[in-house]
Structure 1
């Protein structure tokens, strides 16, 4: 396994829809193992293949709930269904999220409270996950990456302007920008 560099906003692979995985090969299995290693080292609760420069419809996830129960897996070629969003402004304390492709920052974003995700696992077996709360947020966030959408693309105008200032200050927003988990310190 290897830790891979994580692409930062502005890299074209992050802003284009990913392609379906046609066949689960040894290369795909190695990619998924490397994605888990990268996600854990970063650390993050999810990582999509485009974030490591691979334009395929794959994402990994890992979350430990309040009862210390781990939830971890991979979904290949996912499909996502979600309940309608509740109207209103996001709660800054309860609905803030971050992204490994815009590291060191968090912004409030309203997401659907419940989702269902189907796809396949690394063995080609069907996956069918229905979750709510933070697990639903993780599924939506990672699924967006597969469609070329970063969570910062969904922010209010005021937060979007702040994102642009941060990106300019850090030299992001250009092709090829990346950081290496475990090596680079991008926490602020």
Structure 2
């Protein structure tokens, strides 16, 4: 597990309003943003996650952080501000197990694109582009969903979603996530 100079915050649980609305664009790139990103990394590592969106610690801002492997096992560690998700026109879809720190202790099979790209900015406001395969591609899609007000269970059939949310409400915290890796 990595460490961070930031301060861990509690993970926001499914049902909290900040998780169910589109997050606000970031317009100021300053020390406060750098501090927030450090706190997000600290929160993600404390919760044993591989990705975390700002609204998962209660912050209404279009930012996510990842420390996640791609299909080759190489890890990408990054913060993406105001991300835009790009999916290929010719989409290879993969069904895999997914979980979420905001829905602890639960997982479900979910179809996602095998590859994904995000464009956005780093904490200094410099444009960046990240390409992902495997779990990293799934992570990009999962985190951008969060910033758009969707949690992975919102993509599941209603009956399964209700069962997972009910079971998660009884869970105290972190469980296993995508591909038996830590939750996002």
TM-score, normalised to structure 1, is 0.82
| Structure 1 residue 108 displacement after superposition | 0.5
Offset, 1:164: 3.8
3-state SS in 1 of match to 2:9: coil
What is the DSSP-based 3-state SS (H/G/I as helix, E as strand, rest coil) of the residue aligned with 2:135?
Answer: helix
- Answer yes or no: is 1:142 the counterpart of 2:147: no
User: SS of the counterpart of 2:78?
Assistant: strand
Moved over 2 A (4+): 64-70, 83-87, 184-188
Name the larger-Rg structure.
1
In the other structure, the counterpart of 2:39 is 34
**Which residue is 2:121 aligned to?**
120
Aligned mates of 2:118, 2:174 — CA distance in 1: 31
- CA distance, structure 2, for counterparts of residue 66 and residue 151 of structure 1: 21
- 1:28–1:56: structure 2 CA closer, same or farther, 3 Å change rule? same
1:18 equivalent to 2:16? Answer no
Q: 1:19 to 1:66 in 2, by over 3 A?
A: closer
CA 1:170–1:115 in structure 2 vs 1: closer, same or farther (change >3 Å)? Answer: same
Q: CA RMSD in A?
A: 2.2
Give the total of aligned pairs: 170
TM-score w.r.t. length of structure 2: 0.84
1:63 Cα offset (Å): 1.5
Matched, 1:48 2:44: no
Unaligned runs of 5+ in 2: 1-5, 177-184
- Whole-angstrom CA distance in 2 between matches of 1:131 and 1:67: 10
Alpha-carbon contact 1:83-1:113 (below 8 Å) kept: no
1:152 aligns with 2:153: yes
Give the CA deviation at 1:131: 1.7
Structure 1 unaligned runs (5+)? 172-183
| Deviation sequence 1:36-59 (CA, Å, 0-9, x none) | 011011110100000000010000
Per-residue deviation at 1:142? Answer: 0.2
- 8 Å CA contact 1:82–1:115 kept in 2: the answer is yes
Q: 1:165 to 1:68 in 2, by over 3 A?
A: closer
